[in-house]
Amino acid sequence: MALRGIRFLEISILLLGLAACQRASEPLPYVDFNQRVPIRQPQRTEVIPMRVGIAAVLSPQSSAEAYQALLDYLARRLGRPVEMVQRRDYAAMNAAIARGEVDIAFVCTWAYVIGRREHGFSLLAVPVVNGKPTYQSWVIVRADLPVQTMADLRGRTFAFVDPLSNTGYLYPRYLVHQLGETPETFFRRTFFTYGHDRAIQAVAQGVADGAAVDSLVFQFLMEQKPELGAKVRVIARSPEFGAPPVVAAPTLPPNLRVEIQDLLLNAHQDPEGKQALRAIGVERFVAGEDAWYDEVRRLEAALVGTGPSP
């Protein structure tokens, strides 16, 4: 029995070997390693948000509240997220636009003039308020002061808005220059508020004797807080300037620029867009012209070499 078992095992191994040899003799499938199929890259599902800069024409909190409805409107119409970007002052916002950290921005008039000259900002849209795409610098004082002109503010405290503000810094400096002085020699003390609403509040609360502010912001704030009307009054008005515009960063793709501009220029014809515009006190946007800002350039030229400038 033992011998018979051993022979059976030998025969089994032999048969398995023959079967393996037969399979090995069959042709194997040919693989050409020179033919390469590109690896399929995973698709990105994340949509890059459009970044909208809001200069501190109003204080940051007020700006965020006022502009959020318009940003939500743009997000829905563009079909992509829209993020609000704020900076402490106009210079920081200009730098952010120049670096491509924002795609479009609501900026001050003088900041636009400087940004166009130094970084290639392009005019996207200009707001129309009270039927006009222009605004003024209004010099305001405390209502109880015996002050009638800029000259009467000599030796007093004055609130500037921002070093790149046309209405809140450039124009009042020009008025002082016309009196043959500089802010350093004319006023007893000056300070920056970094917001037109803050400058108005500073005068109303007696922190400053006077200030120069954006006429549109002044009118908007009087509607929102009519009690301020009894605490401040206007003593001087500038010529008309092109209103603070919406600008496109030089890095914004041309097709997206056209799409955003079209949305802004037609927002007043859309019920949702019209409501969003109303929240920031704007009737509609127009394309605008760079020549509308030549008066700002004239003030710049008059003040060359007269003191601090950007």
- Report pLDDT for 48: 84
pLDDT at 138: 98
pLDDT the model gives residue 66: 82
CATH number at residue 81: 3.40.190.10
How many domains, the chain? 2
The predicted pLDDT at position 305 comes to 67
CB-based contacts of 115: which residues, under 8 Å, 6+ apart?
Answer: 94, 97, 98, 107, 121, 247
Instruction: Answer yes or no: do 155 and 233 share one domain.
Output: yes
Asked whether 148 and 300 are in contact (CB, 8 A), the reply is no
pLDDT computed for residue 39 by the predictor: 42
Separation CA 39–CA 242 (nearest Å):
54
Q: What percent of the chain stands above pLDDT 70?
A: 81
Residues 69 and 117 placed together within one structural domain of the fold: yes
Residue 303 lies in a domain: no
Tens of pLDDT, residue by residue over 180-236, are 999 999 999 999 999 899 999 999 999 999 999 999 889 988 988 889 889 999 999
Q: What is the pLDDT of residue 306?
A: 64
**What pLDDT does residue 65 have?**
81
Residue at 145 is within a domain: yes
Instruction: Identify whether residues 86 and 141 lie together within a single domain.
Output: no
Whether 81 and 203 share a structural domain: no
Residues 87 and 55 in one domain: yes
User: Are residue 144 and residue 128 in the same domain, yes or no?
Assistant: no
Q: H or E stretch including 233?
A: strand 232-237
pLDDT of 205 reads 95
Q: 60-78 and 271-279 are packed helices; what angle lies between their axes, rounded to 10 degrees?
A: 170
Residues 88, 229 within the same domain: no
Examine residue 195 and state whether it is found in any structural domain, yes or no.
yes
State the DSSP string of 255-305: HHHHHHHHHHHHGGGSHHHHHHHHHTT-SEEE---GGGGHHHHHHHHHTTT
Domain limits at 152? 137-238
Residue after which a domain boundary falls, among 238, 255, 279: 238
Phi, psi for 181 (deg, rounded to 5):
-135, 180
116 in the same domain as 263: yes
Residue ranges in the chain whose pLDDT is less than 50: 1-26, 28-39, 42, 45
State whether 221 and 172 are in the same domain: yes
